[in-house]
Amino acid sequence: MKKFILKFFLLVITLFFGVLLGMQQANEGLLQMKGFDDKTFGGAFHLKKTEAGEVEAAVLGQEITAHDIEEKQKKLEEMKAFHFLSNLGSRLGDMLSIIFQQLTNLVVSSLDKALS
């Protein structure tokens, strides 16, 4: 049994390192397929600091400013302001919860009286 466990763990460790090596080789192959070494294509999200001390962000090559974020925040607040179906569903869910709670209390109390 000890030999089996030892062989099993050695096999698992060997396969794990093989997977890591394969991932590294795939990464190098993808970089070679591009045909050039451009660091701007390295990631999807980039942060850089300007000389004025401000931080600029880019996601998939598009610049993001604080103004864009504020506009999106306002749109989200407007969307949350009025959702008729969402409010209706929430109220219906609350009402059903209360009904099933009362129904459960009624069944439990009737069973308690019947068993006593």
Which DSSP string corresponds to 35-66? SS--GGGS-SEEEEE-TTS-EEEEETTEEE-H
Joined together, the tokens standing for residue 23 give: 């991932």
- C-alpha R_g of the chain: 30
pLDDT beneath 70: ranges in the chain:
36-46, 59-61, 65-67, 80-82
Residue 100: per-residue pLDDT: 93
CB 59 within 8 A of CB 45: yes
pTM passes above 0.75? no
Which amino acid, 1?
Answer: M
**Phi–psi pair at 55, nearest 5 degrees:** -105, 125
